[in-house]
Structure 1
Amino acid sequence: MSAPASEQASGRLSGKVGVVTGAGSGIGRASALLFAREGARLVLFDRTEEVYRTVAAVEEAGGKAIAMIGDAGDEADVAAAVARAGETYGRLDIFFANAGITGGVRGGFFDATPQVWEEVLRVNLIGPFLAIKHAAPAIRDGGGGAILCTASVAGLRSGAGPAQYSASKAGVINLVQTAAQQLAGTGVRVNAVLPGLTETGMTQPLFDGARAAGKEHKIGQLNPLLRGGRPEEIAEAALFLVSDAASYVNGQALAVDGGLSSSHPTARPPGDASRPTS
């Protein structure tokens, strides 16, 4: 059920205009729906036509969005998304650079080719750089706002993704720190959200395989919440970071991972470790 128009008008993103990349599924779709519900008018960007389904869902819930097909790692396409926001809505306040890929490599470290690394870095790291490069001036000229990039807990240390993916996400974490400093005095904040294991199109085979094998209970077993995440949970963190509630948060990397990154992986102690002792 969609929120009444009066409720949307008083949302946390009321009056804001945003671009969301990777909006055709997963975290991007969940964030688009949440941002729109909170009052944002959106340009939703993806390389697949699934983005039209996201726009339809936004409109069905009473929100406003338009779709763009494009490549998040292509400068012309990213610049066009920023321009489209200005042409359609008259301003830009938010850019959520969420699109990403793993590279699809099966096997170990030495199975990936330079071409795989180049493509992953192009989309996952150069893409957010392009978002900042083109969105920051537009957001600055509108009085300030927020750029958010999707990194990953894989960017913090080994063990949460393939090498090329992990390296690209480590780059995103440093990118937002560097960009925040470069944009000093502009009123443009730049942060990263770091999802842990979350059920999206990227991780669906893992979740489906565990369920088929009767091992769903083992998903997320290394984090203290003992479960995987949902796209909607990452979207809530993204909403905070792009909203005025985070007006003093800049150059930061927020892990949303059930506590996985609070510790290096270790064997659990004997006994019922999930039950606190008195």
Structure 2
Amino acid sequence: MSAAGSAPRRFEGRGVLVTGAASGIGRAAALLFAAEGARVMALDRDAGVAATADAILARGGDAEAVVADAASEPDVRGAVEAAEAKFGALDAVFANAGISGGMAGLFDQTAEDFAAVLRVNLLGPFLALKHAGPRMAARGRGAVVCTASVAGLRAGAGGPAYSASKAGVVSLVQVAAQQLAGTGVRVNAVCPGLVETGMTRFVFDGARERGKEHKLGSLSALRRPGLPDEIARAVLFLASDEASYVTGQALAVDGGLSAQHPFGRPREPGQTTM
């Protein structure tokens, strides 16, 4: 509970499900939700998600780790049902699990790899909405936040499959917000720019090896990459009552990167270097 005289915590006693919670933005969000009083179910197919729950418990919070696949319908259905059973209600979902799918060019990527990226990045949020949305609607309130990307807003910020999947997430939250109209359930997306996470670490490691770390994030107006915590704070805003009049939106949290078009000339067909 909040200390006497202090501001009430935004998610006090509320049940929250976070997917992709083993590291990066998902882990940062799970910790912040808990710090704001939420009871957190942290889901990831990586067993390291237990460390996220342990960190919350060590700080006096309430959390449970679930090793499951955010793109498996039985796993997602089970997680939503388990969260409701444990917490009494599911008040917010952060559908964050995602993969990059590598940096292969459009003409070099296999159909199998393309489908695998869409499965995690787009099917995962769909399943979260499909199974959590109606339960929230029945209670007359709730919020779902999905992780999209600046790569889903315009070309040049990611590989073909990744960009297409994240554009799909933006469209998905717009459609879901309308299909849940009048229910009290809000649906939004957060669109991170360049942030160091497990998924993007190869970019950062490569820049450091070449002595180019100072150039990371240099195309953004703030001239630096973002931090997982900075994205997580935007997620908490969208999931909170402070965003009570915000739905169907894709919020770019990218240091100003998407405010311009800082990309080089188009590549020739067959050229694979990004």
TM-score (normalised: structure 2): 0.93
Match of 1:113 among 94, 106, 110: 110
The number of residue pairs the alignment matches comes to 263
Q: In 1, are the aligned partners of 2:44 and 2:66 still within 8 Å (CA)?
A: yes
Aligned to 1:14: 12
Return the letter of the residue paired with 1:98.
N
How many Å separate the matches in 1 of 2:113 and 2:215? 30
RMSD: 1.5
CA–CA distance in 2 between the matches of 1:55 and 1:34? 12
Aligned to 1:59: 57
- The correspondence of residues 118-197 of structure 1 with structure 2, limited to 5 A, is 118-197=115-194
Judge conservation of contact 1:9–1:39 (CA < 8 Å) in 2. no
Match of 1:88 among 68, 73, 86: 86
* Alpha-carbon shift at residue 107 of structure 1 (Å): 3.4
Partner residue of 1:220? Answer: 217
SS in 2 for 1:146: strand
What CA distance in whole angstroms lies between the structure 2 residues aligned with 1:20 and 1:238? 11
Tell me the CA shift for residue 143 of structure 1.
Answer: 3.1
Q: Which runs of 5 or more residues in structure 1 are unaligned?
A: 268-278
The one of 234, 255, 264 equivalent to 1:237 is 234
Q: Contact conserved, 2:14 with 2:38, CA < 8 A, in 1?
A: yes
Q: 1:27 aligns with which of 25, 33, 44?
A: 25
Task: Report the equivalent of 1:68.
Answer: 66
**Per-residue displacement from partner, 1:210-238 (whole Å, max 9, x unpaired)?**
12222111001111100000000000000
CA apart distance, 1:14: 1.1
Whole-angstrom CA distance in 2 between matches of 1:229 and 1:39: 25
2:107 is paired with a residue whose SS is: helix
Q: TM-score, normalising length from structure 1?
A: 0.91
Structure 2: runs of 5 or more not aligned? 265-274
Q: Which residue of 1 aligns with 2:261?
A: 264
For the 8 Å contact 2:22–2:47, the answer to whether it is kept is: yes
The Cα of 1:141 is off from its aligned counterpart by: 2.5
Tell me how far apart the structure 2 counterparts of residues 144 and 167 of structure 1 sit (CA, whole Å): 30
Partner deviation per Cα, 1:46-94 (whole Å, 9 max, x = no partner): 0011100000111111111101111111111111110011111111100
Identity %: 61
Distance in structure 2 (CA, Å) of the matches to 1:114 and 1:193: 27
Alpha-carbon distance in structure 1 between the residues aligned to 2:14 and 2:109: 41
> Is this contact kept in 1: 2:196–2:227, CA < 8 A?
yes
